[in-house]
Structure 1
């Protein structure tokens, strides 16, 4: 890996070790399987996916990319974790998922290679795992066509988010492996909004995501104090 790649080798190794479990709905990736219908429907309501050219940045094992392809989009998933991409490709073959492909490339490198190529760009649960999230935001803004949509989701940085996303999810409820997240890498909505503005993206919709540990239910709400989602748009030229 070259020094200028915006990725943390420890983060890539962490997810590579679990790569074979991406598509096990009862594995460490169970929360991703549970929240995927929520984020998929939200994206599809704002930017209908049928017939769209879509890029999923930080696709991992392909949970979101696969589901967007099944909604009728032509999807490219990109990641720098080779083992996760191999799992994604294998699942696409086994499930006969149409119109989805995967590449090992960074968002920044793809932005140089293919700017303004996608109707929709998604970057979900990824920004809190890279050294320079602003660089990813800028790359996403370059990759989307004028008038196109860019979706982000990440975790707020405040005491409640630490209590819920780290102490609660990783230590008490064991929803995620310990060490999945680092509090210092969490991103306040104001910080992400500023990064979007600087990249030329307009923030259009914001939603929070909540979880009830008693019922095991996730839902979208107006509470962005822990997990939250942004829908941004590149102005039409």
Structure 2
């Protein structure tokens, strides 16, 4: 599939593809994703419920969130534009026994094909990796059924976030590969709110997510200065 027509950065695809074999190693560079996953799932569960819901995970990568949602009884589709992580995701289903429909597809393409098809759309830790996050948000909104839920998580463009998520996580602690994040692409909650509003979504909750890399504890609070989660609803 040609990626040139899609809202995708080939450098980002290559970056995550090179690490694909480590996706399900909880002590690898993906350790933070494994650690925050239960909190992300609980956040979705709290607002939308998961069991028997038709769910789309946008930018699913190797399937950590998608599988977690399937394990809670969701009927999950995962889409990504990186082939290697998708192959890893499909292989892991053989190990876990979960059912997820993984597709190599752009969210904008799926939105044109299957508008208003999903009860829940999640797009976690992805917006800061694409050239046009507003296009992704618009497509997520299109894919949600009327009355459906759309969830985002991303990084705030603050000095504190740069210190913790870039310098700390990538260069000091080595939790993430150097170059994982481009600070210029981080998104302020006010900017995300503007984009979700333009897409016709109502913001219900913005929650800060605090990750302690030493204890590996994850908590939600009101401080959205670094990582934050957003719950949106599409008007019925």
Counterpart secondary structure, 1:46: helix
Mark the runs of 5 or more structure 2 residues left unpaired by the alignment. none
**Are the aligned partners of 2:36 and 2:211 in contact in 1 as well (CA < 8 Å)?**
no
CA distance in 2, matches of 1:45, 1:214: 27
CA distance in 2, matches of 1:57, 1:84: 13
Counterpart secondary structure, 1:14: helix
Match for residue 217 of structure 2?
Answer: 217
CA distance in 2, matches of 1:82, 1:119: 26
1:193 aligns with 2:188: no
Displacement over 3 Å in runs of 4+: none
Q: Is the alpha carbon distance of 1:34 and 1:2 closer, same or farther for their aligned partners in structure 2, counting shifts above 3 Å? A: closer
CA distance in 1, matches of 2:177, 2:221: 26
CA distance in 1, matches of 2:214, 2:180: 22
Deviation, structure 1 residue 214: 4.2
Deviation, structure 1 residue 153: 0.1
Mark the runs of 5 or more structure 1 residues left unpaired by the alignment. none
CA distance in 1, matches of 2:196, 2:204: 11
CA distance in 1, matches of 2:213, 2:40: 19
Q: Is the alpha carbon distance of 1:135 and 1:47 closer, same or farther for their aligned partners in structure 2, counting shifts above 3 Å? A: same
CA distance in 1, matches of 2:124, 2:8: 15
Match for residue 26 of structure 1?
Answer: 27
Match for residue 116 of structure 2?
Answer: 116
Deviation, structure 1 residue 185: 0.5
CA distance in 2, matches of 1:95, 1:208: 30
RMSD: 0.8
Counterpart secondary structure, 1:116: coil
Question: TM-score if structure 1 supplies the norm length?
Answer: 0.97
Match for residue 178 of structure 2?
Answer: 178
